[in-house]
Amino acid sequence: MNFPSLFFLCTFVYTLLYMEKFEVTILGCGSALPTTRHFASSQVINIREKLYMIDCGEGCQLQFRRSKLKFSRLNTIFISHLHGDHCFGLLGLISTLGLLGRTAPLHVYAPKAFESQLKSQLEFFCKGLGFEVTFHPVDTQQSSVIYEDRSVTVTTLPLHHRIECCGFLFKEKPLLPHIRRDMIDFYNIPTYKINYIKNGKDWVTEDGTIVPNSRLTLPAETPRSYAYCSDTIYIPELSQYLQGVSLLFHEATFSQKDLARAKETFHTTAEQAATLAKNSLAQKLCIGHFSARYEDENVLLKEAQQVFNNTILAKENLTIKL
Amino acid sequence: MNFPSLFFLCTFVYTLLYMEKFEVTILGCGSALPTTRHFASSQVINIREKLYMIDCGEGCQLQFRRSKLKFSRLNTIFISHLHGDHCFGLLGLISTLGLLGRTAPLHVYAPKAFESQLKSQLEFFCKGLGFEVTFHPVDTQQSSVIYEDRSVTVTTLPLHHRIECCGFLFKEKPLLPHIRRDMIDFYNIPTYKINYIKNGKDWVTEDGTIVPNSRLTLPAETPRSYAYCSDTIYIPELSQYLQGVSLLFHEATFSQKDLARAKETFHTTAEQAATLAKNSLAQKLCIGHFSARYEDENVLLKEAQQVFNNTILAKENLTIKL
C-alpha cells in the first residue's frame, strides 16, 4: 500500500471510530425511589472520545465502570438540579477519580446553591485530592451557552420543577467536509495539503487553474444535537429550543392516567414528552426517569409511541448512537 | 385442634420465624474503588425482625431493596469510619425513608466528626424531612457498649485504620428457656401460665407439690454474637473481644502476598483475618472488603481456609443465618 492510500485508510478508520462518535450512555434512569430495576439519574455523552456526564445520581461511578467508559476521559459534569437522585453520586465519583491518581481539573456545572455544599463535602471527605474541582454556577432561569470546546457547545434549557432546574442541549460544531479521494488523485494534490482543502480552500494547479473547493470535497454531515430534559413539568414552549434535535431525552415519570400526580410533583407524562418531541420535529425520543410505580414501563413506551413513533425506553447501560 | 395445641403451634412457628432470627445480609463488600462485581461496604443485621445497618456505602439503599428488606424496620445505623465507601449512601437512604413517609426517628451512630457534616447535608438536601435523625457520637478508641435494646447489645471494637475507626460486636441477650410440652400437659398447667414458667418460675400443683422450673423447661440456646471488623490493619489483640463469636466478619482487603500494601494502607490480609478467627475460637469467618485487584476472590478464600477452614466469602445479597 502506498503512502497516500495508507494515509486515507488511517484517516477513514480514525474518523469512523473517533471523530464521528456522538453517543449517549444511560447510567441510570429511575426516579427518586430506588427499585431493583433502575439506578438514579445519570448519563454520559461521548463526543469524539471526550466524555461529559449529565447528572450523577447514587451509583453512577459503578455504572460508569459497568459501561466500560474511561474515567480519565471525563472532564465535565453538568448537574440539572439538586435533588439527591441527580447528584448524590458526585462525591463518590470524585473520590474514585482521586484514588485513580487523576491530576487534571474536573469541571462541575450546577446551580449556584451547590457551590458551598460541595466545597464543604470535598474538604471533609476528600482531603489531599490530587486535582482541582472547578465549580461553574449555572443560571437555570434562561437559555444560554455555558460550555464550549472545539467539538460542542452546551446550552441550558430552562425547566420548571419543584426546585430550580435546567436541561442541557449539546450541539455538535459543524464538521469539516469529506475529501473526494478521486479528485485528490486526479489533481495529484500532496497529502500534506489535505487539511488545507478540508478547511475550505481551493486548489491551484501548476498551470494556475483554480479548482474550487466544492469540486474537491463532499459536504459534511449535518451537525448532531442531543437534548436532556429532566426533571420538569410539561413545557410546550421548550420546543423552540429543540427544533430538529437528533435525540431528545425527556423525562416521562408518569403515564397520562397519572397526569394529576405529574402536575402536582412537577413531572411530565409519556404522552406529553412525545408531544414535545413531535412539536420539536425531533428525530428520536428517549424517555426515562420512570416512577417506581410502573413495573412494566412498556405502558409508558406505548403511550409515547402513539404520539411519536420513534420513541425508545431508557435503560441502564444502553448506548444510543446519534 | 384444641386451644393449647393451637397456642403451642403458633408459639412454635412465631419463635421459628421471628423470635430466633439473627441474620446478616451483605449489601456490599467491595472496597473503595468501584468494580462491576461489588457494591461499597454495607450490611444489615436482622435480629427478630428489627434491622440494624452497619456502614452505608453508595448504593446501599438499592441493595437494601434488592435484598427485600423492609425500610420501615430499620431504626439504627452504625458507621465504622468516615471513608466514602462506608458512608456515601447514607444521605440517599435518608431521603428515601423520607419519601416513604417515615415518621419514626432514625438513630445514627458514627464518629463525632461526622455530626456537623451530616447536619449540614440534611439541612441542604432533606428540608422538611418527616422524621428526626438522631446522631450518637461514637468513641472509636475504646471498647464500650453504645447501644442496647431488649434483644441485643452493641459494643464498639477499637480498630486501627488511616482515620479513626471501630468495629461493632452484636451480642444477643440471653434467650428464654424452651417449655417442655409434655410436662405442661402432665401437670395440666394452664396456657396463661406459660410465660410465668418461661421466665424461670417453679410450678405449684393443687396439692402443694413444688415442681422445679428445670423439670418444666429445656435450656435456651447459647446467645449468638456477630462481630464486624472493617477497615483495619491486623490487630492480634482484638481476639480478646471476640472469644467464641458465632460469626466474625473481617476485612481481607489483600492477599498475604500483598502484605506490604496491606500494612501501608492499614488493611488486613486473608491469612491474618483467618488467624484472628482461629485465635478467637470463632465459629465461622466471613471475609470481605475485597481490593479491586483480585478478579477471582477465591485466592483470598483459599488463603484464609488454610488457617481457618470455616471461612466464606462475602457476596452481595448473601444472607448468613447465625
Q: pLDDT of chain A along its 322 residues, tens only?
A: 565 566 556 555 555 555 689 999 999 999 999 899 999 999 999 999 999 999 999 999 999 999 999 999 999 999 999 999 999 999 999 999 999 999 999 999 999 999 999 999 999 999 999 999 999 999 999 999 999 999 999 999 999 999 999 999 999 998 889 999 999 999 999 989 898 899 999 999 999 999 999 999 999 989 999 999 999 999 999 999 999 999 999 999 999 999 999 999 999 999 999 999 999 999 999 999 999 999 999 999 999 999 999 999 999 999 999 9
The sign of the torsion formed by the CA atoms of B161, B165, B169, B170 equals negative
- Residues of chain B with Cβ-Cβ distance to A123 below 8 Å are none
User: Which residue among A58, A66, A124 places its CB closest to the CB of B89?
Assistant: A58
- Residues of chain B with Cβ-Cβ distance to A129 below 8 Å are none
Find the distance separating the first CA and the last CA of chain B, reported in whole Å: 33
Asked whether the beta carbons of residue B120 and residue A120 sit closer than 8 angstroms, the reply is yes
Note whether A61 contacts B: Cβ–Cβ < 8 A: yes
Q: Kindly state the cell numbers that stand for B179.
A: 417449655
- Residues of chain A with Cβ-Cβ distance to B59 below 8 Å are 58-59, 62
Q: Locate cell 431521603: which residue?
A: B95
pLDDT of residue A20: 83
Partners of residue A155 on adjacent β-strands: A145, A169
pLDDT of residue B175: 85
User: Which residue among B36, B92, B120 places its CB closest to the CB of A58?
Assistant: B92
Task: Give the 3-state secondary structure percentages of chain A, helix then strand then coil, rounded to 5.
Answer: 35, 25, 40
Q: How close, in Å, is residue B249 to chain A by CA atoms?
A: 24
DSSP-based three-state secondary structure for A37: coil
Q: Do the Cβ atoms of A126 and A202 come closer than 8 Å?
A: no
Q: Distance from CA of residue B189 to its chain's centroid?
A: 38
Q: Do the Cβ atoms of A4 and A188 come closer than 8 Å?
A: no
pLDDT of residue A21: 93
User: Which residue among A66, A96, A121 places its CB closest to the CB of B36?
Assistant: A66
Note whether B120 contacts A: Cβ–Cβ < 8 A: yes
Nearest of B53, B52, B107, B111 to residue B80 by alpha carbon: B111
Pairwise CA distance, residues A107 & A136, whole Å: 7
Partners of residue B247 on adjacent β-strands: B226
Domains present along chain B, CATH in parentheses: 21-175+221-313 (3.60.15.10), 178-218 (no CATH)
pLDDT of residue A175: 85
Strands B319-321 and B311-313: unpaired
pLDDT of residue A6: 62
Residues 6+ apart with CB under 8 A from B314: B26, B29, B249, B286, B287, B288, B289, B290
Q: Kindly state the cell numbers that stand for B97.
A: 425513608
Residue of A nearest to B85 (CA): A92
Kindly report the three-state secondary structure assignment for every residue of chain B: CCHHHHHHHHHHHHHHHHHCCEEEEEEECECCCCCCCCCCCEEEEEECCEEEEEEECCCHHHHHHHCCCCHHHEEEEECCCCCHHHHCCHHHHHHHHHHCCCCCCEEEEEECCHHHHHHHHHHHHCCCCCCCEEEEEECCCCCCEEEECCCEEEEEEECCCCCCCEEEEEEECCCCCEECHHHHHHCCCCHHHHHHHHCCCCEECCCCCEECHHHHEECCCCCCEEEEECCCCCCHHHHHHHCCCCEEEEECCECHHHHHHHHHCCCCEHHHHHHHHHHCCCCCEEEECECCCCCCCHHHHHHHHCCCCCEEECCCCCEEEC
What does the CA dihedral A27, A33, A37, A41 come to, rounded to 10 degrees?
Answer: -10
Pairwise CA distance, residues B129 & B108, whole Å: 15
pLDDT of residue A319: 98
Q: Kindly state the cell numbers that stand for A246.
A: 437528533
Can you give the length of chain B in residues?
A: 322
* pLDDT tens per residue across span A96-152: 999 999 999 999 999 999 999 999 999 999 999 999 999 999 999 999 999 999 999
Other Cβ atoms within 10 Å of B110 Cβ, number: 26
Nearest of B270, B267, B263 to residue B287 by alpha carbon: B270
Q: Which residues of A117-152 are buried (b: 16+ CB within 10 A; e: fewer)?
A: bbeebbebbbeebeeebebeebebeebeebbeeebb
Enter the DSSP assignment of A281: T
Q: How close, in Å, is residue A77 to chain B by CA atoms?
A: 19
Which secondary structure element, helix H or strand E, spans residue A274, and what is its range? helix A270-279
Single pTM value for the model: 0.91
Q: Kindly state the cell numbers that stand for B204.
A: 405449684
Between helix B270-279 and helix B298-305 the angle, nearest 10°, is 30
Nearest of A244, A271, A278 to residue A169 by alpha carbon: A244
Asked whether the beta carbons of residue A117 and residue B117 sit closer than 8 angstroms, the reply is no
Asked whether the beta carbons of residue A36 and residue B91 sit closer than 8 angstroms, the reply is no
Note whether A186 contacts B: Cβ–Cβ < 8 A: no
Residue to mutate among B37, B88, B127, B163, with most A CBs inside 10 A, is B88
* pLDDT tens per residue across span B246-282: 999 999 999 999 999 999 999 999 999 999 999 999 9
Q: Is the bond leading into A231 cis (omega within 30 degrees of zero)?
A: yes
Which secondary structure element, helix H or strand E, spans residue A12, and what is its range? helix A3-14
Asked whether the beta carbons of residue B121 and residue A124 sit closer than 8 angstroms, the reply is no
Asked whether the beta carbons of residue A62 and residue B39 sit closer than 8 angstroms, the reply is yes
Pairwise CA distance, residues A132 & A112, whole Å: 18
Between helix A114-125 and helix A90-99 the angle, nearest 10°, is 40
Ranges of chain B with pLDDT below 50? none
Residue to mutate among A27, A38, A61, A62, with most B CBs inside 10 A, is A62
* pLDDT tens per residue across span B129-152: 999 999 999 999 999 999 999 999
Q: Mean pLDDT for chain B?
A: 94
Note whether A67 contacts B: Cβ–Cβ < 8 A: no
For residue A115, with 0-12 CB atoms within 10 Å meaning exposed, 13-18 middle and 19 or more buried, which class applies? middle
pLDDT of residue B20: 83
Q: Is the bond leading into B231 cis (omega within 30 degrees of zero)?
A: yes
- Residues of chain A with Cβ-Cβ distance to B92 below 8 Å are 34, 40, 58, 84-85, 88
Q: Do the Cβ atoms of A31 and A292 come closer than 8 Å?
A: yes
Q: Kindly state the cell numbers that stand for A175.
A: 464538521
The residues of A annotated as belonging to the active site are 85
Asked whether the beta carbons of residue B125 and residue A39 sit closer than 8 angstroms, the reply is no
Residue of A nearest to B113 (CA): A124
Q: Do the Cβ atoms of B298 and B311 come closer than 8 Å?
A: no
Find the distance separating the first CA and the last CA of chain A, reported in whole Å: 33
DSSP-based three-state secondary structure for A170: strand
- Residues of chain B with Cβ-Cβ distance to A91 below 8 Å are 84, 88
Q: Kindly state the cell numbers that stand for B76.
A: 439504627
Q: Kindly state the cell numbers that stand for B74.
A: 430499620
Alpha-helical runs (H) found in A17-139: 60-66, 84-87, 90-99, 114-125
Q: How close, in Å, is residue A102 to chain B by CA atoms?
A: 13
User: Which residue among B34, B91, B120 places its CB closest to the CB of A88?
Assistant: B91
